[in-house]
Amino acid sequence: MALYATRTNFTAPAANDTIIHLKGSATIRPRLAELILGSDAAPVEQSGEYQIARTSTAGTTPVATLTVVKIDSFSPAAGTTVEGNGYTTEPTPGDLLMDIPLHQKATFRFVAYPGRELCQTPAANAGIGLINIGQSAVFSLNASVIWVE
């Protein structure tokens, strides 16, 4: 079992944009262990709704391929591909795992109890997506995730 991390700063997310997408495969199942979601924009009275959902397609032409960092440098290379910041065609969301209503001035942190991480469906092109459902006005988002393989 190895831990990996990534982060992004998404400056102008539109409704239904995928912020971070952990793409596994039929044999590699990323399990979301931690999530931090907040904003570094000038604080005003705005809010948004975000969801963590299983995805059943990979999406096409992501804006960013995110850097994966091994938490333990002795871990093997990550088998999970991580993309985000929106797509030309978004990944298809499936099972809703978590709904996160969040004020822009707040920070949200999720930490899974060991053994109870959020898992993807074991299938090709399946994954776990952090999705911007909508914001009262567009503001920058910062997101960091840690997952287990």
pLDDT tens digits, one per residue of 97-107: 999 999 999 99
Phi, psi of 70 (to 5 degrees): -80, 125
- Residue 7 pLDDT class (50, 70, 90 cuts): very high
pTM of the model: 0.94
Give yes or no for residue 5 having a pLDDT over 90: yes
Domain ranges of the chain: 3-148
CA dist list (Å): 119 to 23, 49, 85, 103: 11, 21, 21, 26
* pLDDT over 90, % of the chain: 92
pLDDT at 109 over 90: yes
Q: Lowest-pLDDT range, 98-107, 117-126, 131-140?
A: 117-126
Q: Higher confidence at residue 1 or residue 38?
A: 38
The pLDDT value recorded for residue 26 is 86
User: CB atoms < 10 A from the CB of 86, how many?
Assistant: 20
pLDDT tens-digit series, residues 41-99: 999 999 999 999 999 999 999 999 999 999 999 999 999 999 999 999 999 999 999 99
pLDDT of 135:
96
- In the chain, which residue ranges form alpha helices assigned H by DSSP? none
Please give the average per-residue pLDDT across 126-130, as a whole number: 96
For residue 18, report the phi and psi dihedrals to the nearest 5 degrees: -85, 120
